[in-house]
Structure 1
Amino acid sequence: MSIDPSSIPSFGAPQPPAGGGRPAGPPPIVVPDQALVTQLLDQMQLKHVVDDEGDLTAPWEGFRVYYMFRGEQKELFAVRSFYDRPYPLERKHEILDLLDEWNRETLWPKVYTHTHEDGVVRLIGECQMIVGTGVNLDYFVTTTANWTQAAVGFEQWMVERLGLQEDIEGQEGEQPSDEGDDEA
């Protein structure tokens, strides 16, 4: 999925005056909230739901992106991606090497591992911004769109780096097995 930040509307930012002159000032400063993020996701034509904890979630096949406000006064905005693909504990060193490469070469999301009690390793990506005192509306919209696009890009990057494309295509094309029906 590719998201073009230039296709995202201005959400009420001042329009140029008639006649094509320059806008009458900088874009507005807003304190973002879930309603603004919902509007942004709608404009980006992304499916989304509110989960049981009240966080906005955009699901993709294989991962979910959460748009969360945290802190006593919801002053921290975070975009977190939870990637569903499990990795065995034995591959953690390999995965950490790949994450080091990703984190060195990209601005966001910063990705880390979470090892479950059963030894399964999963990946989490995260970006954060302080928004409690207000933020430029255009900056917030563009950054949120870029973070979303980067979360999708990371999943694609991991598939390429680990050579998983054939596995994924095989899973998509699998037909139910009729084993045992051919025995006569």
Structure 2
Amino acid sequence: MSIDPSSIPNFGGQPEPQEAGPNGPVIPDQELVKQLLDQMELKHVVDDEGDLAAPWEEFRTYFMFRGEEEQQVFSVRTFYDRPHTLESKPQLLELTDDWNRRTLWPKVYSHTNDDGSVRLIGEAQMLIGTGVSLEHFVSSTVSWVRASIEFDKWLAEQLGLEASIEGKPGDDEAPSAE
């Protein structure tokens, strides 16, 4: 299966009209996601656990397939690397609650590490085990990546931090799954 380049929304602006995909549903896999990331001109790596990731300077976005056959789920999970203090967690929770109320994705939650630092994680999922339209898969994945970038920019703005995200993957080493 192959992605028609004209069916990929313009990553830097408004989505372009999409042509009809193949007849019937497809079951996406890691190779299809790699092809999509290549066409979006996004750097990507496969980590030691076999998960596909796109690293940026301040976060890493993973493209994971979990589950068996009809229950298989495609998950786009972003680990935001900017550490926050435990004392700032109430403010972070207020901000993430506001984001989660106002947007569809990614849904963002906090994780407190053993050292007391707080990190944020964004996630969007799609059930793919019975198949999905290629057009829906491509447009959803592109939208989720864009929204992950936008969340980081929005959070930096809300916290008064200098946003370091330029919308392009960084030159980080291969990330490891958390």
Do they superpose with TM above 0.5?
A: yes
| Structure 1 portions without partners, runs of 5+ | 15-26, 170-184
TM-score, length-scaled by structure 1: 0.77
Q: What is the one-letter code of the residue matched to 1:124?
A: I
Alignment partner, residue 42 of structure 1: 38
Alignment partner, residue 128 of structure 1: 125
Aligned residues between the structures: 154
TM-score, length-scaled by structure 2: 0.80
* Pairwise CA distance, 1:165: 1.4
Q: What is the one-letter code of the residue matched to 2:112?
A: T
Aligned match for 1:101, one of 87, 95, 98: 98
1:67 aligns with 2:63: yes
Q: What is the one-letter code of the residue matched to 2:53?
A: T
* Pairwise CA distance, 1:118: 1.0
Alignment partner, residue 52 of structure 2: 56
| Structure 2 portions without partners, runs of 5+ | 1-10, 166-178
Aligned match for 2:111, one of 111, 114, 119: 114
- Greater gyration radius: 1
The percent of aligned pairs where both chains have the same amino acid is: 57
Whether the 8 Å CA contact 1:29–1:135 is kept in 2: the answer is yes
Whether the 8 Å CA contact 1:65–1:79 is kept in 2: the answer is yes
Q: For residues 81-116 of structure 1, give each alpha carbon's deviation from its aligned partner in whole angstroms, at most 9, with x where no partner exists.
A: 000000010110010000000000000000000001
Q: What is the one-letter code of the residue matched to 1:6?
A: P
Which structure would you say has the larger RCO, counting Cα contacts within 8 Å and 6 or more residues apart?
2
Alignment partner, residue 163 of structure 1: 160
Aligned match for 1:147, one of 141, 144, 147: 144
RMSD: 2.2
Aligned pairs for 1:165-180 (under 5 A) are: 165=162
Alignment partner, residue 15 of structure 2: 6
